[in-house]
Amino acid sequence: MWSEELTNARTQTLSESRCAGGRSPSLKGLLTSFILGCVGGRCIQVSLIFGPGYGKRHLNWIDIKGLLLVCLIFVPLEQLLALRPDQKIFRRGWLTDVGHVFATGLLIKFGLALAVLAISLAAGHLIPAKLRAAVAAQPVWLQFTEIVLLADLGFYLAHRAFHAVPVLWRIHAVHHSIEELDWLAAHRVHPIDQILTKTASFLPVFALGFSLEPFLLFALIFRWQALLIHSNVRIGYGPLRWIIASPQFHHWHHANCPESLDKNFAGQLPIWDLLFGTLHLPRGRMPQRYGTDDPVPRSYLAQLAYPFMKRDCDTPPCDDGDLRRTRWVGPFPSHAGAATPRSSADSSNSRNGASNISARR
């Protein structure tokens, strides 16, 4: 778990190690660590990457204990502070989302391991060592603040691109196919979506040589924040809702109604949406419906294949596992198969309106 990582982390950082010992992380060590994780290892020892003096840190590939902890926290929380009390714990699609927790989560970690490897190696050659050392020498609280700002800006830009570019939208539509939001629904993402988005978010962090400790703190907060903003809870932040992303903020991003189309892209800081004109946060109201008009399949494997398939007819989403009416179009869909807006104001069956469910303040 990330909390264990934070507790066991030492104060020595990658940049500091370079300054003191004059060595860059070994490519052999990086590849060895990655391969160990791929062939069935439960975790990666970061000491293999940063050298024997960097301490033994473990990054879990499949964190069963962490998942159980999340269940113990969010299942009762969604019952006690339910935004929609009638929503079932085992709502439609929950089994598919469990598949995303394990299988997609593993694919994302593999992809991010390669991305971090590439960023770290490239940064060592492209970014001046003095700049990286100066960044790592800053106080932890200042580094943490800078990481949050830079990482969330990268997340905002990547997230907005996934809504604006048709090829990317077909990938991101898998996440927006959620029609009943809860903590488990946060895991329904296409692995390509999260690998690219998180790479864009982490790029400035690893490139500039921030210390590991403030990054682990950011990763810990981001993980729990992502679960909370998707969850079925009535928790308002009061005036802080303009500063910190809340469930109300992100629920409006998932709303399937014209007024919220392409709004609220930030992961943690609504200020980015405010600055770029994409903020939508009506006081005292929550969306009535979620989802997308795109025909995203309901089964796990079909959702992985969806971005690369083109339907031969305009119909509602397939039944589980139904790919008979789809055909392969390659990695880049043709214009006919390009994504359409996830919600249309002109549709005769538009899911318009918002409920008057007030967030708890």
* pLDDT tens digit sequence for 97-155: 999 999 999 999 999 999 999 998 999 899 999 999 999 999 999 999 999 999 999 99
Among 319, 315, 279, 272, which residue's Cα sits nearest to residue 93? 319
Within a domain: residue 24? no
Within a domain: 10? no
Is the alpha carbon torsion for 94, 96, 100, 101 positive or negative? positive
Domain containing 181 equals: 63-287
What mean pLDDT comes out for the span 185-214?
96
Q: What is the per-residue pLDDT across 52-88, written as a single tens digit (0 to 9) for each? A: 444 444 455 667 888 999 999 999 999 999 999 999 9
Whether pLDDT at 353 is above 70: no
Helix (H, G, I), strand (E, B) or coil at 358: coil
d(CA 358, CA 195): 35
Rounded to the nearest integer, the mean pLDDT of the chain is 79
Does residue 7 lie within any of the structural domains?
no
3-state class of 117 per DSSP? helix
In a domain, 107, yes or no: yes
Residue 282 scores a pLDDT above 90:
yes
pTM: 0.76
Q: Is 49 within a domain?
A: no
Residue 350 lies in a domain: no
pLDDT at 312: 53
pLDDT score for 60: 58
Whether residue 337 is contained in a domain is answered as: no
Average the pLDDT over each of 153-157, 187-191, 319-323 and give the range with the smallest value. 319-323
Q: Which whole number is the average pLDDT over 261-289?
A: 96
Highest mean pLDDT among 13-27, 287-301, 338-352: 287-301
2-14 pLDDT, tens per residue? 444 444 443 333 4
Residue 233 bridge partners (DSSP): 82
Structure tokens at 140: 């932890």
Q: Is residue 84 part of a domain?
A: yes
Our count of domains for the chain comes to: 1
